[in-house]
Amino acid sequence: METAVLAEIVRERSRAGELFALADLETELAGRHLLPADATTEPVVFSTLIAETMTNHPDIKQLGDDANHAWYFSEQFMTGAYARMLLLKGRGPLNLMAEVIREHSRVYPQPVPITLFRAAPFHLSDDELSVCLQEMTGQSAYQDIACLTTSIGNTFAFSTDHLEPGYAAMLAEWADVGQVENP
C-alpha cells in the first residue's frame, strides 16, 4: 500500500516537471500519516520502503547529486536526461551550460547551438546567455569551453577537451547550414 502511494507522490511531482528530494518525500509521507510507525526512528525502514517502491514501480528512478543527496522522478513523465538537467540547473547557469556543452562534445560528439539554452529546461534569456559566456572565458573551471560562429552568424559552444576546434567548426557549419541546404 505505502509503495503505491509513494510512487504516486513521485509521479505527481514528475508530472509537474520537478524532482523529489529524499527529505521532502519523508516529510510528505509523514504529513499524510503514511509512514510506518517505526520509520521515524529507524531510517532503514524508510530506505527499505523506497527500495520496495522502486522495485514494485520500475518507472520510479533515483538520481544522486554531488552532495550525495537522493532525488526521485518517474520515467512516465520525464526522461533520465531531463531529470539530470533539472539537477544541474540547481547548480547555477554556468555549471549547467558547461556540463551540457561537455556532454554534447564527449557523447555525441557535436557542438551545442547556444540557442538551446533558451528552451526548457534551461529558460535562459539572451542577456543571461551573454553574461554566462563572458564569465566562462575568465574562469579556469571553464577553460575548455570555446565558442565559434557559423557562416550565417549563429553561435555554437564545445569543449576543447573532447572536440578539436576545426572539427567542431565543421560540425557546427553542417548542423547550421549544410543540413538545411542539403536535406
- Residues 40-53 as b/e (b if ≥16 CB within 10 A, e otherwise) read eeeeeebeebbeeb
pLDDT band at 139 (very low <50, low <70, confident <90, very high): very high
How high is the pLDDT of residue 141?
92
Asked, colleague to colleague, whether 2-86 and 92-181 share their fold, the answer is: yes
> What pLDDT digit, counting tens, does each position of 82-136 carry?
898 888 887 889 989 999 999 999 999 999 999 999 988 888 999 999 999 999 9
Give me the phi and psi of 91, to 5 degrees please. -95, 5
pTM greater than 0.85: no
- Is the CATH number 3.30.450 carried by domain 92-181? no
Cα separation, 16 vs 160, in Å, equals 36
Long-range contacts, stretch 26-32, CB < 8 angstroms, 24+ apart: 29/2, 29/5, 32/5
Q: H-helix or E-strand containing 73?
A: strand 70-74
Query: Any idea where the domains of the chain sit in the sequence?
Result: 2-86, 92-181
**Quick one: pLDDT band at residue 46, thresholds 50, 70, 90?**
confident
3-state secondary structure of 157: strand
What confidence score (pLDDT) does residue 43 get?
57
Q: Name the residue with cell 539530470.
A: 84
How would CATH label the architecture of 2-86? Orthogonal Bundle (1.10)
Alpha-helix runs per DSSP H in the chain: 2-15, 22-31, 43-56, 80-89, 93-107, 126-137, 165-173, 179-181
